Chain A
């Protein structure tokens, strides 16, 4: 047991430094992303101290960032597994379409029960849509890019048919505990959905980094042939990542609708760009095999402050889209460069 002894002996200063350097290298991307966030925030603060010095902006960030952070977090798993999902926006609405069907059936007899069962239906619908994405990708061997563009249109179509293109008032939700639970104010100040996003982030982080499932997600994304040769269930792993995105998207759809107390059939439009940008800016590689939930989480807030930051600084909001697109291209390009340098 000589090896065990050497590790227990106190490390020499040089070794200590080596260890520190290694840790630094290991968490370099995460440290970098935090610095980017702080720098950007400081910059915006400098441009508009009034806006960034008041609580209102943070309240609004904590309410609205979860809408896409909730999806960006599990999307990290899909991208680490070297796949992509573009259908989550439509799945948000599809989940709520399922909600509306159940809710309408019970509206006259027991509207509160309708909300609870509707919420359950919403999650199940999301789970199914996510699973279907994975099933098509894995079993039929169709690239996920193509598959999820297809299902994106398909579910949007289903929503329009089911809702007949009409919106639905959701004020009844206010009478259930689901309202306070998901979009209430914790201690009167902190939006509940922000805490849910943190909790969800921690759960997904745990599964990615400390569970067999996550280990397999990394392996599948890194080298799918090796993973298969070594007995990793590639199919099941990939399907599971898509399924988690499906449930999360449905949940996000519910939270958004709860917040505005109205269900729009267009729900989910406009989340594609910022969700994807969060994942890629967060350091998750399009080439698969690497990525962190922490990076995605921080990046989601970077993405979130760009729009208000620009507006508060007095520039036109038209810049926002340009910057999102720019961020995606630059972060993906950086990954490509990093990858070439590392291997």
Chain B
């Protein structure tokens, strides 16, 4: 399989805390990878290394379409085509909706003068299509601090959608969403698959991950405990094995750990 993203020997230490040790992780072209793991397993840390927010410890290597990327930064990752819905949503509460949508890559001319009209127009369009905002109280000028949890999520997801990405990472996007909103979010992940793009989907609810993922990777205390291809394992079996992992710290796999 062709890989869009390949990470080799990735470790990350925060002072005393080793969040990741020697992780090998990859995402194939047009593959949806479900990433599972307990609280504190290191999922978000892995995500933030992919997006250039954290720098991995020396020795780790990152490849984008078989090309080695050194010194990945957030803006570089975005230029490569990596978009993220962060677990913490990464919004600026006192700023308007349109400023949040275009945060960090405002539409502007070459001198940096903002195209405010353009951004407001695009935001209004996105509101009625992607975000599905129905409340008439919400306008592109509304500050996002006043939004409901679901609306905030909608903003974060829409923002990732807007800038057509090659690889979209969703870190617990369904957290706090209603059933219908969750459905929409999962449809969105399916849409990524249909569009020929790749995704990493993190969710604590296996029921959400299982149907949409091509491959499921289980992270446990900073290491890859195992992975399963779609269809290799029935849903119930997966649950059994994850429960077993939680109890014993050991995950049975049909394959050797390192692929």
Q: What is the minimal beta-carbon distance from A271 to any residue of chain B, in angstroms?
A: 29
Checking A4, A7, A26, A230 against B103 with a beta-carbon cut-off of 8 angstroms, the contacting residue is A230
The answer to whether B106 touches A226 (Cβ under 8 A) is no
Answer yes or no: A322 CB below 8 A from chain B CBs: no
- Of the listed stretches A185-193, A196-204, A211-219, A325-333, chain B binds A211-219
Answer yes or no: B212 CB below 8 A from chain A CBs: no
**A228 CA to B146 CA, complexed, in Å:** 22
Residues of A contacting B121 in the complex (Cβ-Cβ under 8 angstroms): 4
Answer yes or no: B207 CB below 8 A from chain A CBs: no
Closest partner residue, chain B, to A220 (CB atom): B92
The answer to whether A222 touches B93 (Cβ under 8 A) is yes
Residues of B contacting A233 in the complex (Cβ-Cβ under 8 angstroms): 75
**A3 CA to B93 CA, complexed, in Å:** 25
Residues of B contacting A17 in the complex (Cβ-Cβ under 8 angstroms): none
**A225 CA to B54 CA, complexed, in Å:** 12
The answer to whether A226 touches B91 (Cβ under 8 A) is yes
Within 8 A of A (CB), among B87-136: 88-95, 99, 103-106, 108, 112-114, 116, 121, 124-125, 127-128
**With known contacts A3-B124, A4-B121, A210–B113 Cβ distance under 8 A:** yes
Checking B88, B92, B146 against A219 with a beta-carbon cut-off of 8 angstroms, the contacting residue is B92
Within 8 A of A (CB), among B209-235: none
Closest partner residue, chain B, to A224 (CB atom): B92
Q: What is the minimal beta-carbon distance from B41 to any residue of chain A, in angstroms?
A: 20
Answer yes or no: B55 CB below 8 A from chain A CBs: no
User: A71-82 interface mask toward B, CB cutoff 8 Å, 1 = contact, 0 = none?
Assistant: 000000000000
The answer to whether B104 touches A222 (Cβ under 8 A) is no
The answer to whether B125 touches A3 (Cβ under 8 A) is yes
**A226 CA to B99 CA, complexed, in Å:** 12
Closest partner residue, chain A, to B89 (CB atom): A226
Checking B90, B99, B108, B114 against A225 with a beta-carbon cut-off of 8 angstroms, the contacting residue is B90
**With known contacts A223-B91, A289-B92, A229–B99 Cβ distance under 8 A:** no
**A222 CA to B103 CA, complexed, in Å:** 12
**A21 CA to B19 CA, complexed, in Å:** 50
Residues of B contacting A12 in the complex (Cβ-Cβ under 8 angstroms): none
The answer to whether B104 touches A231 (Cβ under 8 A) is yes
Answer yes or no: A259 CB below 8 A from chain B CBs: no
The answer to whether A343 touches B145 (Cβ under 8 A) is yes
Residues of A contacting B77 in the complex (Cβ-Cβ under 8 angstroms): 231
Q: What is the minimal beta-carbon distance from A237 to any residue of chain B, in angstroms?
A: 11
Residues of B contacting A229 in the complex (Cβ-Cβ under 8 angstroms): 48, 51, 53, 74, 84, 86, 88, 90
The answer to whether A343 touches B106 (Cβ under 8 A) is no
The answer to whether B90 touches A230 (Cβ under 8 A) is yes
Residues of A contacting B21 in the complex (Cβ-Cβ under 8 angstroms): none
The answer to whether B92 touches A226 (Cβ under 8 A) is yes
**A218 CA to B48 CA, complexed, in Å:** 23
Answer yes or no: A50 CB below 8 A from chain B CBs: no
**A231 CA to B141 CA, complexed, in Å:** 22
Answer yes or no: B24 CB below 8 A from chain A CBs: no
Residues of A contacting B105 in the complex (Cβ-Cβ under 8 angstroms): 230-231
Checking B51, B108, B125 against A212 with a beta-carbon cut-off of 8 angstroms, the contacting residue is B108
23 contacts between A and B (CB under 8 A): A3-B127, A7-B124, A210-B113, A210-B116, A212-B114, A218-B94, A219-B103, A222-B92, A223-B90, A223-B92, A223-B93, A226-B89, A226-B92, A226-B103, A227-B103, A229-B86, A231-B73, A231-B75, A231-B105, A289-B93, A289-B94, A342-B94, A343-B94
Show the binding face of A for B, using Cβ within 8 Å. 2-4, 7, 22, 26, 210-213, 215, 218-219, 222-223, 225-233, 289-290, 342-343
Q: Supply 20 further A-B pairs (C-beta < 8 A) apart from A212-B106, A289-B92.
A: A3-B125, A22-B141, A212-B108, A213-B112, A215-B99, A219-B104, A222-B92, A223-B92, A225-B90, A226-B90, A226-B103, A229-B51, A231-B77, A231-B104, A232-B103, A289-B94, A290-B94, A342-B143, A343-B94, A343-B146
Show the binding face of B for A, using Cβ within 8 Å. 48, 51, 53, 73-75, 77-78, 84, 86, 88-95, 99, 103-106, 108, 112-114, 116, 121, 124-125, 127-128, 139, 141, 143, 145-146
